[in-house]
Chain A
């Protein structure tokens, strides 16, 4: 599903070159739920941005669904991102002046679906997250947990094979965090591969596998849910 080999990413300012990822290698299989942990500045978000085709690596090889994505044009990368990848952010990143319906509509517009198909998918995904009745509400009219559920609905509407979550519960209280986590587990059970960056060790343990990034490299791999792994296999 996702295979990174010797990925490097460095940022250069006038005088300093910062290495965000160094010889970073990782393979994620279809249907896995992988949590990513590590100290601040270790390269977790950079990894997620590269995995989500928002940034290009300085070096190394990245295969998504067996396709080398390094040489793709911006248009092809955007198309791939829209079709195969869903994003969930810590800050929800809903567009404030669009109602829930229109927020979820955004990725579907870029996919080129007709109005009928877009409506079907939006209504279905809002139902999945339990917010069908609030389609015409603006994000500001919802609680944080509800906003994150809308963000998940938006990510799911395109039926991606691959969900990237950057601290999806970071801005939520424990009850809402648990609800969001249960939703992600539910989505994963339906076959969507999930990579989730988190600082919360309890949430990290609930994934099939946890990887730790330190100084831009994978430092530790732990199997945390062998029974789920075997179920996937």
Chain B
């Protein structure tokens, strides 16, 4: 009977084109507005590391002010100190681990027409690519030694490689970074997670790095990180070495722990490490560590903030207003068809059959409204991109999931809107209409 109801619905919609168009428009406008904001929120809160959500952990250690917790919901600093990062890197418990931070500098080629440009870079330990599943187009990560000592190797992104080498395999070629020659050891494929889960300290939706540099370069280059550096106490820093040994936090730290046993062992290791540090006068606060999965990390960092959520509710409220209009239009349309429903009842249709027929018609209105709503959403997102609000051009786009969600929302909304009108017409007394037609 479903196919029969669909054909009746389409026939009914064609019979009253203006009323049908109004109903579709009411659903489409509501869905368009709701899906525009929901899509932005969805894209903003998307977990780019979802596939490894069960094994990746962001590490936090509470080495903050004994009298005042760090200003965040987890009450722990988001980042780690250099000395803690170096110490943790010595652990052999994690399958993979990464200490890293943002940096940058001019990049150029000798004897080339390519103009030098400033490249956003990431100074990181070599596991970065394997831990975050960054695929390589050419070559691979640098040697283990490069994480310990200053070896001039780097990895380019495909975009940077395109700019410098026109997309050729540049492994083994030399580029100048900050005026120093480096050998290219790898070129990654396009990798632009949004939000940038691996580093939420430097703009949730900013572009990812264009160049990756080994962790062992710090002392040789006296690298001062780009991005947030925080401290809680007054420290006398007169040299770069002082800075490396300070309690200032400026590095992000991630580990890959493949089993619960490994997680437990790593917790024990971190606990032991803090106890050891406490004996040396560090970590004055009560012992506390944080191991957060990417999904938890996004929530902790409030990537989608209260205002965004409020906007969601407002858009859903607007959809509700559109639904109320759709209910009124559907009621008017269905009650106009009451004589036909009376005939159908006389010919053997049960109340449920009449109800189902009209609910299917509502769903068809919803389906058309959903398709029109997708077009409105795409138009809305395009408008937002044109406003050039920084990162919005990276999140204001609709994927298949959201398109299907738009249709689902439209059909669900129209079913809700159609429920009462369909129920009303299924409950009317057929005999009234049979005599008066």
Contacts and interface: CB of A to CB of B under 8 A. Distances in A.
Interface stretch (A24-32, A90-98, A126-134, A198-206): A90-98
Contact of B350 (A52, A79, A166): A79
A119 interface: no
A107 B348 contact: yes
Contact of B343 (A79, A95, A109, A166): A95
B402 interface: no
Given A89-B434, A95-B340, A83 B11 contact: no
A72 to B, nearest CB: 11
A53 B340 CA distance: 18
B352 A93 contact: no
A111 B344 CA distance: 12
B347 interface: yes
Contacts of A75: 350-352
Contact of B346 (A52, A94, A98): A52
Nearest to B353: A110
Contacts of B352: 74-75
A110 B352 CA distance: 12
Contacts of B351: 74-75, 78
B437 A91 contact: yes
Contacts of B400: none
Interface in B414-434: 429-431, 434
A166 B343 CA distance: 13
A97 B348 contact: no
Interface in A92-121: 93-95, 97-98, 106-107, 109-111
Contact of B15 (A54, A97, A109): A97
Given A91-B437, A93-B343, A97-B15, A79 B431 contact: no
Given A45-B435, A55-B429, A89-B437, A110 B349 contact: yes
A78 B350 contact: yes
B89 to A, nearest CB: 72
A68 to B, nearest CB: 19
Contacts of A78: 345, 348-351, 353
A49 interface: yes
A107 B430 CA distance: 15
Contact of B348 (A89, A91, A98, A110): A110
A208 interface: no
Contact of B4 (A74, A82, A94, A109): A109
Contacts, number: 74
Interface of B: prevailing SS? helix
Given A55-B429, A79-B350, A166 B345 contact: no
A8 interface: no
B1 interface: yes
Given A55-B429, A109-B1, A82 B348 contact: yes
Nearest to B12: A97
B347 A54 contact: no
Q: Among the interface residues A90, A94, A106, which one has the most CB atoms of the partner chain B within 10 A?
A: A106
A161 interface: no
Interface string A48-70: 01001011000000000000000
Contacts of A149: none
A33 interface: no
Contacts of B345: 54, 78
Contacts of B343: 93-95, 106
B354 to A, nearest CB: 9
Contacts of B344: 106, 110
Q: Among the interface residues A52, A78, A98, which one has the most CB atoms of the partner chain B within 10 A?
A: A78
A87 interface: yes
A166 B435 contact: yes
Interface string A148-172: 0000001000100000001000000
A81 B348 contact: yes
Contacts of A82: 347-349
B434 A93 contact: yes
Given A78-B353, A93-B437, A95-B340, A106 B431 contact: no
Contacts of A110: 344, 347-350, 353
B367 to A, nearest CB: 21
A83 B348 CA distance: 8
B336 to A, nearest CB: 12
A106 B347 contact: yes
The 9 closest A-B pairs by CB, nearest first: A82-B348, A78-B350, A110-B348, A107-B347, A49-B431, A91-B437, A75-B350, A54-B431, A93-B343
10 contacts: A45-B435, A55-B429, A74-B351, A75-B350, A78-B351, A82-B347, A91-B434, A98-B11, A107-B347, A109-B4
Interface of A: 45, 49, 52, 54-55, 74-75, 78-79, 81-83, 87, 89-91, 93-95, 97-98, 106-107, 109-111, 154, 158, 166
Given A75-B352, A78-B349, A98-B11, 4 more contacts: A54-B434, A93-B342, A95-B340, A110-B353
